[in-house]
Amino acid sequence: MILKQPLSWQRSGAGAPQQGMNQYPNPMKTLTVNTSGGPAEVFSAAAPILSYQAGSYPYSTAQGPDRFSFSVVAPSAYAFNYLTWVEDNQTWYSTNSYMYYCLDGSYTAHIVNKVRLNIQTIGQGVVTSPNFMYAWNPRPYQSVAKGTTLTPLVNANQVTMTPEPCPGWGFDHWQYKNAQGQWVSTPGNPFSGSLTIYMNWWTGGGIRVPDGVSVFDVRAVFWQACGCDGPDGRDTLRAMYANPDIVDGNNTQYTPRPACGNFVTNITGHQQEYVNPGNFSFNELSCNHGVLPGAHAAWQLDDGVSQLFQSVRDEYGAAINVTSAYRCPRKNNDIGSRATSRHPYGRAFDWAQGSSAANWAIAEAADIANAANIYLYWGSNRMTLAALIAANCGPTVFPDGWSGYSHGHADR
């Protein structure tokens, strides 16, 4: 800032300078404050030696005899990040947006556009958080008054959000918009409970705003409850069907969405409590869901698979080692199967009896029990029972390249 009316002083007596004579020596020292990365307003002042009495003015330059002070104010859509300057051939950094009693020279205020969180919902529900604010600094650093380095605060700006479905609705999953503008499910997607994201551009674990993005889109997906006495595991399962975000390797959705009445539970006394037809337990029916999101341990889908199994078991006349029956869409995707499989609809079961002859005998029992499709496998290779018979195969005679029958499949 150029002082238009410099400070002056008078004294009486011999040798007193004339009124208006400038007390400052020549040449005057100069402070310059530049901005980089975005706009900001700079307030600067030339402070007399050992004094801060000079006020600040909205200019990016100032002249004075010795020391200076200044502050940087970014507009609401931007954030002040840090200052840089060179002193004694060394570059210095400060995360303070102001300097008092500083040397003359050139300083640079680094500005960055803030990041906003755009929260959307599908279905009926709201998203709440104790961390909501208008916008966040996407490049936060550890505070330093004067130093030769800056340390990123990688885990700063955490925002934890909680989905709250409206009555009659249930929460399904979180999505965010990637750098290509596509809605995708969050990595390690918590399909129930809260979601934490980091509103900064640093790299690291967790969900973070991509570098340079100023608006980060997140949405919570809610699904209407089935109308029974839920919301419960039935709603969790039904939300996996007819869902554009849950597709198989061929990008095919799981349709149609099953009716509530086809789900069964192990909850004692519930009106949809599973009824064992004789030799097919709830655990044998159950999806081996593991740690996948969307857990539904108390609820499974049985659209005739239990009766099919029991008919096959009765024909076989001995216990059958079931390896898979119901598989929800997420589990089906996890093992690389397809949406056309009958497992996700509660209509199929697989077995592995330990010997080729036993696997063949169960396949024959399934044929007598009028199963719709019967397959025998050797590893990933499969053939229908009818095709094997047509090829003159049998319990001890295998197709070319096969060494036996590793397991089997039957469905309705």
Output the six-digit token pair for 217: 């889109």
Which residues lie closer than 8 Å to 218 by C-beta, 6 or more apart?
Answer: 117, 118, 119, 120, 161, 174, 175, 176, 177, 195, 197
- For 232-259, what is the mean pLDDT? 88
DSSP 9-26: ----STTPPPTT-B-S-S
Residue 116 CA to residue 98 CA, distance in Å, equals 25
pLDDT category at 17 given cuts 50, 70, 90 is very low
Most confident of 11-15, 35-39, 184-188: 35-39
CA distances from 100 to 49, 143, 215, 353 (A): 12, 17, 35, 82
Tokens 């330059």 locate to: 61
Asked if the bond preceding 58 is cis, omega within 30° of 0, the reply is no
Amino acid 26: pLDDT: 65
Amino acid 20: pLDDT: 39
Amino acid 229: pLDDT: 66
Amino acid 171: pLDDT: 82
Amino acid 309: pLDDT: 97
CATH number 3.30.1380 is the correct assignment for the domain at 247-411: yes
- Please give the residue that has the higher pLDDT: either 347 or 21: 347
9: alpha, beta or left? (left if phi > 0; alpha if psi -120 to 50): beta
Amino acid 221: pLDDT: 85
Instruction: Say yes or no to pLDDT of 142 above 80.
Output: yes
Q: What average pLDDT does the chain have? A: 88
- List, for residues 284-322, the tens digit of each pLDDT value: 999 999 999 888 989 999 999 999 999 999 999 999 999
Amino acid 158: pLDDT: 93
Instruction: Say yes or no to pLDDT of 353 above 50.
Output: yes
Residue 302 CA to residue 39 CA, distance in Å, equals 63
Instruction: Say yes or no to pLDDT of 48 above 70.
Output: no
Residue 316 CA to residue 219 CA, distance in Å, equals 51
Instruction: Say yes or no to pLDDT of 402 above 60.
Output: yes
pLDDT category at 268 given cuts 50, 70, 90 is very high
How many CB atoms lie under 10 A from the CB of residue 379?
11
- For 55-70, what is the mean pLDDT? 82
- List, for residues 1-11, the tens digit of each pLDDT value: 333 333 333 33
Q: Which helix (DSSP H) or strand (DSSP E) does residue 108 occupy? A: strand 105-113
- Looking at the DSSP bridge assignments, the partners of residue 79 are 112
Amino acid 10: pLDDT: 32
Amino acid 226: pLDDT: 67
- For 19-26, what is the mean pLDDT? 50
Rounded to 5 degrees, φ, ψ at 63 are -125, 145
Residue 246 CA to residue 242 CA, distance in Å, equals 8
Instruction: Say yes or no to pLDDT of 211 above 80.
Output: yes
CA distances from 275 to 164, 237, 284, 286 (A): 34, 20, 13, 13
Most confident of 99-103, 138-142, 227-231, 261-265: 138-142
Which residues lie closer than 8 Å to 161 by C-beta, 6 or more apart?
Answer: 119, 127, 128, 129, 194, 195, 196, 197, 218, 220
Amino acid 218: pLDDT: 94
pLDDT category at 257 given cuts 50, 70, 90 is confident
The sign one gets for the Cα dihedral 195, 196, 198, 203 is negative
Amino acid 230: pLDDT: 64
pLDDT category at 151 given cuts 50, 70, 90 is very high
Residue 74 CA to residue 329 CA, distance in Å, equals 49
Tokens 């399962």 locate to: 237
pLDDT category at 23 given cuts 50, 70, 90 is low
The SS3 assignment for 259 reads coil
Amino acid 236: pLDDT: 84
Output the six-digit token pair for 243: 């869902």
Q: Which helix (DSSP H) or strand (DSSP E) does residue 374 occupy? A: strand 373-378
Which residues lie closer than 8 Å to 283 by C-beta, 6 or more apart?
Answer: none
Amino acid code (one letter) for 222: F
Amino acid 205: pLDDT: 82
> Do 134 and 116 form a contact (C-beta atoms < 8 A)?
yes
pLDDT category at 74 given cuts 50, 70, 90 is very high
Asked if the bond preceding 329 is cis, omega within 30° of 0, the reply is no
Asked if the bond preceding 231 is cis, omega within 30° of 0, the reply is yes
Residue 363 CA to residue 358 CA, distance in Å, equals 9
Letter string b/e over residues 202-239, b meaning 16 or more CB atoms within 10 A of that residue's CB? beeeebbbeeebeebbbbbbbbbbbeeebbbbbbbbbb
